[in-house]
Structure 1
Amino acid sequence: MAKTDPLEIILCAPRGFCAGVDRAIQIVELALQKYGAPVYVRHEIVHNKYVVDSLKAKGAVFVEELDEIPDTEAPVVFSAHGVPKKVPLDAEKRAMFYLDATCPLVSKVHVEAQRHHADGMEVLLIGHAGHPEVIGTMGQLPDGAISLIETVDDVAAFEPRDPEKLAFVTQTTLSVDDTANIVAALKARFPAIQGPHKEDICYATTNRQEAVKQIAPEVDAMIVVGAPNSSNSMRLVEVAERSGCPRAALVQRASDIDWDFFAGISRLGVTAGASAPEQLVDEIIEAFGARYDISVSSNVTARETISFNLPKELRAVPA
């Protein structure tokens, strides 16, 4: 391969940071600005090593559980994925000052689950076991009040206490198509089941998947910039493959590119998960630019203008 080999790079738009991720990162940065280091963060604020490392460099200290934090007056930030109800209660018992960076769209799912439970419903959560968002949502209700559904097979195996008193909510970062199949199976088996008034999969997840679907059949390969523990990024790889892209790969940084995997391509699609910063996309374009004669264009499928309010304690801090 010579540097003169042409390569057309098509960027999916929208891609990268969503409003919830943007807000969560701002909360940590503004807390550092207002209160100084350290600012403790429970779990990765968002699932991206570059973001986490850059916040660590500014004085953020990441922990998995509150018991790793010494008695302190320093702020504690809860990650964008949301936390079980027990976490803020434990923080209050220890008189910790905490800032909740839970994405408002995840909080909406928490409220829905609590409302259904209060109405006497048995609640199902469509999601991936072990994901922090799922742990947080299930932790809103007492043990046994909410059951996890991961697949259509899980729907067939589920035995409700009362099929007339069932409701479901979903993780916000799922595959739109997979979730539609699971919801269809639930409605077929339990016609009385209640769902959200507006679907729980967030606008950003939906928009990024739609953008990939449009590009995938037109390119030889697709790169999804993101982390392997990022649910929405992993779903983008699956969506690209299912939509007709012959090769799709998750790439965290330019240094991780497997050049053999991309050998012989002339059209490359690039997108980024909702927790991946644009600098990493630029870095990957630059890496291809060092090996190919590249042209870069953008395919815009939606415009995103949504933004979320910061916690009141941080609103007066100049960004």
Structure 2
Amino acid sequence: MTADKPSLHVLLAGPRGFCAGVDRAIRIVREAIERHGAPVYVRHEIVHNRYVVDALRAEGAVFVEELSEIPDDGRPVVFSAHGVPKSVPAEAARRGMYALDATCPLVSKVHREAERHHARGRHLLLIGHRGHPEVVGTMGQLPEGAVTLVEDAADARRISPPRGAALAYTTQTTLSVDDTAEIVAILRERFPGIEGPGKEDICYATTNRQAAVKAVAARSDLVIVIGAPNSSNSVRLREVAERAGAPRAVMVQRGADLDPAIADGCATVGITAGASAPEVLVQEVLARLRERFAVTTEEVTVAVETVTFRAPRMRAVA
């Protein structure tokens, strides 16, 4: 009986979970399967979430890391929401593949900015995490040597771009807002003439989710972030929660991964979800906590999101 359970107040950060770019990417895969049947190939995880990937795999998606793994059988191939280097669609075109681009439009915007700066003779400083698919895709928009990666404040202080080159910077869309502001400040101090985006490249969803987790972290004994360890925006949420005052912040992929005893001794727990984690996983975590606690919930909303992105048109089934 709930009377025998200790009370636990849960603050639900809002916004949380799916963003418009993730929703669009998943719709593209599902519509391709619906129109063309299985299999539909997807280069890299469509979004960084095991639950989403497993669900799409069960529906007929086949995930690969490289186009070389896909046979020449005329089946559609979808490029993930993180974006790809120019060499990937070029290879798909060379092989006559039917390719569908699920790159988030906000990532595509960064790609176009990178091309614009390069066309104007500027060397690009890209703020981001080495090896992340989005960074690989953005660097792959320009010739080798045209981009210098800046991973953190220490990098910003020591990088040596080509002598005499005009400079510009852009950023990965899923970074910590605060960390990025520090890096940009260092770059602007070192290189006063550096060009930047008219509007910061960190996407609205990342910014809003970080603001929301800050709002709950200051009131929480523990913050639970639902997301995958390879999801940049989810990892940043856990870091932001700790910096914002939460005594502890943990990340789990879904309810089954959570030991509810972690909240023993807590009066208030904050919950948020990365932009690639569906709301069903939030409900799983709540259900897990209810096994041990008498849970009350409170929505803490810092912004209301109305952004939507249209999916590309697909050709008819042959």
TM-score, normalised with respect to structure 1: 0.97
In 1, the alpha carbon distance for the partners of 2:28 and 2:122 equals 35
Structural mapping, 1:77-88, within 5 Å: 77-88=78-89
* Correspondence for 1:104: 105
User: How much has 1:155 moved relative to structure 2?
Assistant: 1.5
Q: Deviations over 1:239-259 (max 9, x none)?
A: 000000001000101111134
Does 2:310 align with 1:309?
Answer: yes
Structural mapping, 1:109-188, within 5 Å: 109-162=110-163, 165-188=166-189
Q: Deviations over 1:262-312 (max 9, x none)?
A: 221110100000000000000000111111111111011000000011102
- The amino acid across from 1:32 in the alignment is I
In 2, the alpha carbon distance for the partners of 1:240 and 1:45 equals 26
CA contact (8 A) 2:18 2:278 kept: yes
In 2, the alpha carbon distance for the partners of 1:164 and 1:177 equals 28
CA contact (8 A) 1:164 1:190 kept: no
Q: 1:61 to 1:3 in 2, by over 3 A?
A: farther
User: How much has 1:164 moved relative to structure 2?
Assistant: 5.6
Q: Deviations over 1:156-193 (max 9, x none)?
A: 21112245600001000000000000000000000000
Does 2:95 align with 1:94?
Answer: yes
Deviates more, 1:105-114 or 1:252-261: 252-261
Structural mapping, 1:64-83, within 5 Å: 64-83=65-84
* Correspondence for 1:45: 46
In 2, the alpha carbon distance for the partners of 1:246 and 1:257 equals 18
In 2, the alpha carbon distance for the partners of 1:197 and 1:281 equals 35
Does 2:40 align with 1:32?
Answer: no
CA contact (8 A) 1:227 1:233 kept: yes
* Correspondence for 1:256: 257
SS of structure 1 residue aligned to 2:287: helix
User: How much has 1:261 moved relative to structure 2?
Assistant: 3.2
- The amino acid across from 2:178 in the alignment is D
* Correspondence for 1:277: 278
Q: 1:216 to 1:208 in 2, by over 3 A?
A: same
* Correspondence for 1:228: 229
Consecutive aligned runs of 4 or more in structure 1 exceeding 4 Å deviation: none
- The amino acid across from 2:269 in the alignment is L
* Correspondence for 2:57: 56
- The amino acid across from 2:8 in the alignment is L
CA contact (8 A) 1:42 1:62 kept: yes
Deviates more, 1:157-166 or 1:243-252: 157-166
Q: 1:281 to 1:161 in 2, by over 3 A?
A: same
In 2, the alpha carbon distance for the partners of 1:10 and 1:49 equals 25
Q: Percent of counterpart pairs with the same letter?
A: 61
User: How much has 1:2 moved relative to structure 2?
Assistant: 8.2
SS of structure 2 residue aligned to 1:199: coil
CA contact (8 A) 2:77 2:99 kept: yes
SS of structure 2 residue aligned to 1:312: coil
* Correspondence for 1:206: 207
Deviates more, 1:261-270 or 1:70-79: 261-270
Q: 1:254 to 1:2 in 2, by over 3 A?
A: farther
- The amino acid across from 1:249 in the alignment is V
Deviates more, 1:255-264 or 1:179-188: 255-264
User: How much has 1:3 moved relative to structure 2?
Assistant: 4.5
CA contact (8 A) 1:163 1:192 kept: no
In 1, the alpha carbon distance for the partners of 2:5 and 2:154 equals 51
User: How much has 1:260 moved relative to structure 2?
Assistant: 4.3
In 2, the alpha carbon distance for the partners of 1:282 and 1:256 equals 13
Q: 1:186 to 1:35 in 2, by over 3 A?
A: same
* Count of matched residue positions in the alignment of Structure 1 and Structure 2: 316
TM-score, normalised with respect to structure 2: 0.97
In 2, the alpha carbon distance for the partners of 1:197 and 1:125 equals 15
